[in-house]
Amino acid sequence: MSLLLAFALQAGAITAESPIIRAAPAPGDDVAAYVRLRNSGPADRLVAIECACAETIEIHRVNRGPDGVSMDTEPALDIPAGGIADIRPGSPLHLMVKATRPGVSAGAEIAMTLRFERAAPIVVRFRTVEDTRAAWTASGQ
């Protein structure tokens, strides 16, 4: 079992799997974080993410179209009943960790609080990595 799978945490019916965050090249930089949210209960929504590691964290969706690429902030992320919300490298979704504070460096564990519309908040420890795609693949996701 990979180290990333060992970081599965549950809040009611919501389980957070394979939480990773890209190491910040320097304090103040913005970086992306990823996690799989598995829901064994009724539909829910991720409505906020908080962390002492940054000024703010937003749910971002990358849109690719004929006019180029744009990034929109989503107010919430739907997690279907009995389903999965994948926020993974290479997908249109990521958690944008804005204006990082010192300590978001490779090998660190970063605690983030995920808040849901229905489920209780959950504190998830994100592993800081240099290469999020490689770390996600290594987690077996």
Residue 139 included in any domain: no
pLDDT for 65: 86
Residue 3 has pLDDT above 60, yes or no: no
CATH number at residue 85: 2.60.40.1890
Residue 115 included in any domain: yes
Residue 99 has pLDDT above 60, yes or no: yes
pLDDT for 4: 39
State the total domains in the chain: 1
Residue 6 has pLDDT above 80, yes or no: no
Strand runs (DSSP E) across 6-136, as ranges? 9-11, 14-22, 31-39, 44-50, 54-65, 68-74, 77-79, 84-87, 93-100, 109-116, 122-129
Task: Tell me the C-alpha distance between 50 and 54, whole Å.
Answer: 8
Measuring CA to CA, which residue among 120, 112, 116 is closest to residue 78? 116
pLDDT for 141: 63
- Over the stretch 53-74, which tens digit does the pLDDT of each residue have? 999 999 999 998 898 988 999 9
Containing domain of residue 11, as a range? 5-120
pLDDT for 139: 80
Residue 19 included in any domain: yes
